[in-house]
């Protein structure tokens, strides 16, 4: 009797194990069959949504090339465009990071201008080595990010208001530091490291922007930090209840935005070998247009580095083609402004027309 009682629990245990193994086998088979069906069934809608911007870029080149083939189909035109818009890519990435967490940073172009002017003042007027000056301006960008986060998070002021005010304040500082004058004569070491050195005919500054885009893509796609950034942007209260330190994540995003915008200023100064007090502000609209247009491609429905990278050069190709056609300069504003409105509208459609925070 004792032997039977002892063997019954063992038999029941083995039976449960066998049932569990059967369930695991069924699950494995269902996953394999589902994967096979997904591989065999090509989703044209998803594919078109992800890569539609790349297709539109190619179509635009062909259309503009039909009118100006010598310029639009020349490699030198694109090599120059890639190099001259490297800082726009970097500025767009700076803007994109706080946008992911639900914050707008309207001060990025001003930080870019401040970085450029401080770099020129430190290097030309004060004789500081270019390497030390770059470290200084990157630190200044981080400080601006901390100031923005302090007013946004501690006082609860909307990011649009804070960063708009910060941007205007920084513009005043730029005019004060520069005495409203252009400062030329920045170290040729920086110019060589940004524009004069070329690879495949493209200025090396383009590859800095490309490397930064890959880095941001990796952080968002393959790290827990990137997932927290996305989580906070999708729902701050849910993220907070899930144990995410929302304030720390938002602060980090704003600081990163400041540092990257300052790096854009370094590239901008290296491209020109000089700094002026006002031209950086003109890049705020292109950066916004590229950030929102990029959110409709590659990873539709959210801000992403590959989409932003493609969007910058899609818009730049359009501007380049319009210049080749001899269109008046005011059309550039129409192109960027219209592009921003259309990009935001498409982004909202992809998000299901949910109100923007």
CA 130 to CA 116: how far, in whole Å?
12
pLDDT at 328: 76
pLDDT at 210 over 70: yes
Classified as helix, coil or strand, 203 is: strand
pLDDT at 353 over 50: no
Lowest mean pLDDT among 91-100, 247-256, 313-322, 337-346: 337-346
CA 197 to CA 222: how far, in whole Å?
32
Average pLDDT over residues 180-184: 93
pLDDT at 287 over 50: yes
Query: Interior CA angle at 263 toward 298 and 268, to 5°?
Result: 95
pLDDT at 23 over 50: yes
pLDDT at 26: 64
pTM, rounded to two decimals: 0.84
- What does the block give as tokens for 26? 């069924």
CA 165 to CA 168: how far, in whole Å?
5
Lowest mean pLDDT among 29-38, 130-139, 198-207, 226-235: 29-38
CA 270 to CA 268: how far, in whole Å?
5
pLDDT at 356: 45
Residues 28-64 have pLDDT tens digits of 565 555 555 545 555 677 777 788 888 889 988 999 8
How does DSSP classify residue 335?
H
| Percentage of residues in the chain having pLDDT higher than 70 | 84
Residues 296-326 have pLDDT tens digits of 888 888 899 999 999 999 999 988 998 888 8
Mean pLDDT computed over every residue of the chain: 86
Strand partners, 198: 203
Classified as helix, coil or strand, 346 is: helix
Average pLDDT over residues 211-238: 92
How does DSSP classify residue 283?
G
Confidence band for 3, pLDDT divided at 50, 70 and 90: very low
Q: Are 273 and 191 in contact (CB under 8 A)?
A: yes
Query: Pick from 105, 133, 126: which is nearest to 252 by CA?
Result: 105
State the Cα torsion 8-12-18-19 to the nearest 10°: 150
Residues 56-100 have pLDDT tens digits of 899 889 998 999 999 999 999 999 999 999 999 999 999 999 999
CA 160 to CA 166: how far, in whole Å?
10
CA 108 to CA 112: how far, in whole Å?
6
């Amino acid at each position: 009797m004792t032997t039977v009682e002892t063997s019954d629990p063992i038999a029941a245990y083995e039976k449960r194990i066998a049932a569990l193994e059967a369930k695991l086998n069924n699950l494995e088979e269902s996953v394999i069959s589902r994967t096979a069906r997904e591989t065999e069934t090509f989703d044209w809608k998803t594919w078109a949504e992800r890569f539609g911007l790349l297709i539109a870029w190619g179509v635009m080149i062909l259309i503009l090339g039909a009118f100006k083939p010598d310029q639009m189909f020349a490699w030198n035109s694109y090599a120059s465009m890639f190099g001259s818009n490297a800082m726009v890519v970097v500025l767009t990435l700076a803007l994109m990071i706080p946008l992911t967490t639900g914050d707008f940073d309207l001060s990025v172009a001003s930080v870019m201008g401040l970085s450029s002017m401080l770099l020129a003042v430190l290097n030309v007027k004060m004789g500081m080595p270019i390497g030390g000056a770059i470290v200084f301006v990157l630190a200044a960008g981080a400080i601006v990010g901390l100031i923005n986060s302090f007013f946004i998070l501690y006082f609860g002021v909307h990011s649009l208001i804070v960063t708009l005010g910060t941007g205007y304040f920084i513009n005043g500082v730029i005019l004060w530091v520069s005495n409203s004058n252009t400062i030329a004569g920045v170290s040729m070491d920086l110019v060589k490291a940004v524009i004069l050195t070329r690879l495949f005919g493209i200025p090396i500054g383009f590859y800095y922007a490309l490397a930064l885009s890959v880095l941001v893509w990796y952080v968002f796609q393959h790290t827990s930090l990137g997932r927290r950034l996305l989580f906070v942007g999708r729902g701050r209260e849910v993220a907070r209840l899930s144990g995410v330190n929302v304030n720390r994540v938002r602060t980090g995003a704003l600081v990163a935005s400041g540092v990257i915008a300052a790096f854009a200023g370094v590239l901008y100064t290296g491209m020109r070998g000089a700094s002026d007090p006002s031209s950086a502000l003109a890049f705020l609209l292109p950066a916004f247009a590229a950030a929102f247009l990029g959110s409709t491609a590659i990873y539709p429905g959210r801000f992403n580095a590959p989409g932003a990278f493609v969007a910058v050069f899609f818009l730049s190709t359009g501007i380049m083609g319009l210049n080749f056609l001899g269109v008046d300069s005011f059309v550039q504003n129409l192109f960027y402004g219209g592009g921003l409105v259309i990009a935001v509208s498409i982004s909202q459609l992809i998000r299901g027309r949910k109100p923007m925070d």
